[in-house]
Structure 1
Amino acid sequence: MAATACPVIGSTNSTLPPNHPDVDLNKEGQTCPVVGATTDHHHNLLKHPSVPLPDPTSPIATSCPALKNVLQQPKSQAMDDEICPVVGTATTVLPPDHPSTANAKEDDVCPVTKATVGHHKSKVHGHPDVEGKEEGKVCPVTGQSGPAHA
């Protein structure tokens, strides 16, 4: 089964970080304390295999050997993926309906993902123009189709 991209952050990673708080992924309505995602929309997630962590309080997605290999895949390169220390692989292209960050302050926080502008400065960029595209067309970044990526 091919990995599908998250319509919000563009991630094709379906494995939670090893230090992710324990959560019952089958229970609806739970909210992630880290990024604010809900279990209602994330039925494809898996718990990370048990690995020893040098510092259990620190996200280590950037040093995961599996994620580094994923970045070499053509799909990841086409989506302009990088490794986020929190969610793993994610596209550096913001969704088409994301508000402009041009006038945002360093400590401004995204109401959807809880990401701060300071941590993403010069690491994310705007989505290609999709104005006037037909509903259901394929997103040029994630390959998703539908109204959110028309």
Structure 2
Amino acid sequence: MAAATATACPVVGTTNDVLPPNHPEVDLAKGGQTCPIVGATTDHHHNLHKHPSVGIDNSNSSHVATECPALKNVVNEPKSRAMDDEVCPVIGPATTVLPPDHPDTAAAKEGDICPITKATVAHHKNKVHTHPNVQGAAEGAVCPVAGVRA
């Protein structure tokens, strides 16, 4: 579950700092590793923690974040509601608003894959939204979605 002091990921907007219970083994203290699932690197994710053991078979792919009762509660917290969070089956709670510098997805085809997070257009169609326009925002302005300073 995301801690009260967790900050939003600048790429996908998640405040969740716990890896899913079926996540591949990774040494979080070692930099330069890349997640085979979402492409995140350990260089930028030193705040992550392993999920407590829940006695599931790691080979069972039906165990997804949307089934976690703790994460369903997290997205109903005021900060999560303000960020328009939903539970992604892969990364847990994340904002449904794309980052302001995200390429336009209007021309994306069903099979296209995000080069950064490996998310598929098919999985995210009609589930993510364009970020409000922040052009001309003053230095130090607060993001209207994540609530973080620029």
Which interval holds the TM-score relative to the shorter structure?
A: over 0.9
Match of 2:111 in 1: 107
Structure 2: gaps (5+ residues): none
Structure 1 partner of 2:94: 90
Q: How far does residue 124 in structure 1 lie from its aligned partner after superposition?
A: 0.1
RMSD over aligned Cα atoms: 1.2
Task: Encode CA deviations 1:86-132: one digit per residue, 9 max, x unaligned.
Answer: 00000000000000100100010000000000000000000001010
Aligned residues: 146
Separation in 1, partners of 2:40, 2:149: 21
Q: Does 1:64 align with 2:68?
A: yes
Distance of 1:144 and 1:126 partners within structure 2: 17
Q: Distance in 1 between matches of 2:123 and 2:58?
A: 21
Q: What residue is the counterpart of 1:27 in the other structure?
A: 30
Q: Structure 1: which 5+ runs fail to align?
A: none
| Normalised TM-score (structure 1) | 0.94
Per mean C-alpha deviation after superposition, the further-off stretch among 109-118 and 128-137 is 128-137
Q: Distance in 2 between matches of 1:129 and 1:38?
A: 28
1:4-52 per-position Cα deviation (integer Å, ceiling 9, x unaligned): 0000000000000000000000001000000000000001000000112
Q: What is the identity percentage for the equivalent residue pairs of Structure 1 and Structure 2? A: 70
